[in-house]
Amino acid sequence: MYQTARDLMVTTQLERRGIRNKLILEAFSQVPRHKFVPRNLQDQAYSDCALPIGEGQTISQPYMVAKMTSLALLTPKSRVLEIGTGSGYQAAILAEISAEVYTIERIPKIAKYGRQNLQQFNYNNIQLGVGDGTLGWAAEGPFDAILVTAGSPEIPKVLLGQLSNEGLLVVPVEDKLSQVLYSVRRTSEGFEKTRGERCVFVPLIGKYGWEKAPESHD
């Protein structure tokens, strides 16, 4: 039942909206999204929408997860940083495609939930930290891609500084209620910013977000 729903999601929600990367489509076909949502919502796991996971947080709409992943231009050698672990679903998708995934969650209860979800599978290339994701994870950088899964008031400069040469930052930017998805590439001459589509994410909380948050990655 779930595999059929997952295949339909890939066809109707991703491919028909322009997601063509085979690695991404295969990842979405493989990762069981219903294992990353609360049990009472598993029958909605493959619907075309975000779903609540507690503490005011959500698991993003499948298309938006795919779109952000697509903009990151990942390869099997990529080292990726995700800001906002949430349920762990985006990290699992990234882990299917990339060599190394570092993911940070600011809410300990949600971090525990995401960790438990990911532990159901045999990912050995994901490292999860708890703390203020707006600070990035400089000790593990630089990164080939950084994905911010929360709406930021501006493009976080500290994260730009943790990109490798030709690395990409994907981040929703504007206000707390509605954002625009930007991709920013680091080049030898500076940063190239590309404006994308409108989107809606929960607010990015932290020193360089909307409010302060703990700084530990322990």
Q: Determine how β-strand 190-199 pairs with β-strand 179-187.
A: antiparallel
Residue count (the chain): 218
- CB count within 10 Å of CB 175 equals 10
b/e code 87-110 from CB counts within 10 Å (16+ = b) = bbbbbbbbbbbbebbbbbbbbeeb
Residue with tokens 């066809």: 11
User: Which of 81, 62, 80 shows the shortest CA–CA distance to 24?
Assistant: 62
136 Cβ contact list (under 8 Å, min separation 6):
81, 83, 146, 156, 158, 159, 161, 162
Catalytic site positions: 60
